[in-house]
Amino acid sequence: MRKQYCYNCQREHTIKEVKEFREYTIKGTKVSGEITILRCENCVEEIYNKENEINNDRILFDDYKRKNNLMTSEEIKTMRENYGLSQAVLAKLLGFGEKTITRYENGAIQDKTHDLLMRLATVETNFLQLWETNRNNFSSYENKKIKKAITLSDETITND
Ligand SMILES: [Zn+2]
């Protein structure tokens, strides 16, 4: 049993974690998903929880991204991890602000231009070109790391 302060009851109560199906409209797109909510067992009010909030946002915003042909947070993260890069290094490689990839992986909606760049970067030959254009902006340590990532994922190149 988990207890937490309920602002509605103004005292600590046992809280219950429940899954709820929700539908919202984000920028004109109907999105839905099963999200996790904490409720006070006494008054049944929703209790704010930052971690749940971030995860719930990601679920709903990923639905928005799917429905608008944008890469989902998960897809962006997978691409980055395939190259073994930190969020900051990938952001730098793509010419984004330092925190931009972090925000996208947390659910923030990317604009079309950023989306296209990230999509292109998922193809290793494009990634290589981005890196070559940009490599002067990286420290020798970062360049070593990127080079290693490319060498490691060589087998992912397909011949079609
Ligand atoms: Zn309560």
Tens digits of per-residue pLDDT, 77-116?
Answer: 999 999 889 999 999 999 999 999 999 999 999 999 999 9
Strands (E), the chain: 2-6, 11-26, 29-40, 46-47
Can you say whether the dihedral through the CA atoms of 112, 118, 124, 125 is positive or negative?
positive
pLDDT recorded at residue 150: 76
pLDDT in tens, 34-53: 999 999 999 999 999 999 99
pLDDT in tens, 142-151: 898 888 877 7
Whether the full predicted model's pTM is greater than 0.85, yes or no, is no
Instruction: Give all domains of the chain, ordered by start, each with its CATH number.
Output: 2-67 (3.10.20), 73-156 (no CATH)
For ligand 1, a single-atom ion, which residues have Cβ within 5 Å?
A: 6, 8-9, 40, 42-43
Distance CA 39, CA 116 (A): 40
Cα of 33 to ligand 1 centre, how many Å?
Answer: 25
Q: For the chain, what percentages of helix, strand and coil (3-state, to nearest 5) are there?
A: 50, 20, 25
